[in-house]
Amino acid sequence: MEQNKFTGTGVAVVTPFKSDLSIDFDAFGKILRNLIDNQINYIVVLGTTGEAVTLTKNEKKELIHFADNCINKEVPLVVGMGGNNTAEIIENYTTFSFENVGAVLSVTPYYNKPNQNGLYEHFRIVAEKSPVPVILYNVPGRTGVNMTADTTLRIANEFPGKVIAIKEASGNIEQISKICKYKPVNFTVISGDDGLAVPSISIGAQGIISVVANAFPGPFSRMINSALEGKFGLAQFLHLSFLELYSALFEEGSPAGIKAVLTSMGLCENYLRHPLTPVSNALFDKLKLLSEKIS
């Protein structure tokens, strides 16, 4: 899979649940169809936004299979395949089907807080054993460890064609800038923060893996495409139209915020698996009001 297939707008898609907390595949299909019809560039399943850590292995297999059939190669499919047990990730490579998977998104190990050499060794093994290209995922706010620009660049340079991109969600523009400046030519920098997507593109990032675009794929894709085309006036206008929504979505945790918005749009029901819970009524109303202002 060519790395440029992971430029533009990727969407970390939610996993809808029914009232009994089983997966709502009808709603999942509806959400996927809405994303594809509104010109997003690729789909990411089993990410943080998809509540992957609460899913069983069989449920993960079912979601990959369903997404593959629903997408039907119209856009690339990326599968979240990370964790804090390196050996378990490698074992998963042998139990999941990657027939039509374009890449895996692999988050830095969480909780056990490896040092930079530990991160390098983890991703060395992940890259060497992966049946498809790997997109690194650095999100220190969730994992408790930041992968530095130097470590990212070391991995990118040592595993060309195997490690093809990074989803950078450190929120550190200086760190993102350093990766953009010194990265190999075929290595893609992807923003992991909706609110930093346009600023990141202005310094060399090539797109976003988005939460907001679950609900607003059309206007969000226009914003990203405008920035990539150098039309920063329009990109700025669209970015500022999302400004209040960016922060409101995370006021009581994610994906609770985006699920509330999707519920208000009639795309899924407002259920999450514990330990997550739905947003408060006050925030639900606030998100609904902010959403109605987006066009």
Alpha helical stretches, state H, the chain: 25-37, 57-71, 86-95, 116-129, 140-143, 149-158, 173-182, 197-202, 217-228, 232-241, 243-248, 256-264, 281-292
Do the Cβ atoms of 80 and 105 come closer than 8 Å? yes
Q: What is the Cα–Cα distance from 263 to 184, expressed in whole angstroms?
A: 41
Please, what sign has the CA dihedral across residues 83, 87, 93, 94?
negative
Asked whether residue 135 is domain-assigned, the answer is yes
Is residue 173 domain-resident?
Answer: yes
Residue 245's Cβ-side half-sphere holds a number of Cα atoms within 13 Å equal to: 25
- The domain that holds 110 is classified in CATH as 3.20.20.70
Quick one: pLDDT at residue 1? 36
- Residue 192 gets the label, from left (phi > 0), alpha (psi -120 to 50) or beta, of alpha
Please give the residue range of the domain that contains residue 158: 3-241
At residue 4, the pLDDT reads 67
| Residue 102: strand, helix, or coil | coil
Is 93 labeled as catalytic in the residue annotation? Answer: no
Measured distance CA(80)–CA(62) in Å, rounded:
14
**Domain contains 283:** no
User: Rounded to an integer, what distance in angstroms lies between the CA atom of residue 54 and that of residue 276?
Assistant: 10
> Does residue 294 lie in a domain region?
no
Three-state DSSP at 8 gives strand
Whether 282 is covered by a domain: the verdict is no
What is the predicted pLDDT for the residue at 5? 84
Count the domains in the chain: 1
Catalytic option among 42, 60, 120, 137: 137
pLDDT at 215: 98
Mind giving me the DSSP string for 118-140? HHHHHHHHHHHH-SS-EEEEE-H
Q: 244: buried, middle or exposed (CB in 10 Å: 19+, 13-18, 0-12)?
A: middle
Where the chain has pLDDT below 50, the residues are 1-3
Distances from the Cα of 289 to the Cα of 211, 232, 267, 276, angstroms? 18, 27, 17, 23
How far apart are alpha carbons 265 and 58 in whole angstroms?
29
pTM beyond 0.85: yes
Q: Is residue 115 in a domain?
A: yes
Q: Is residue 217 part of a domain?
A: yes
Q: What does residue 220 show for φ and ψ, rounded to 5 degrees?
A: -70, -40
Residue 8 lies in a domain: yes
Catalytic residue among 5, 60, 167, 183: 167
Q: Which DSSP letter does residue 187 get?
A: -
d(CA 287, CA 28): 21
Our answer to whether residue 162 is catalytic in this structure is no
- The whole-number pLDDT of residue 3 equals 46
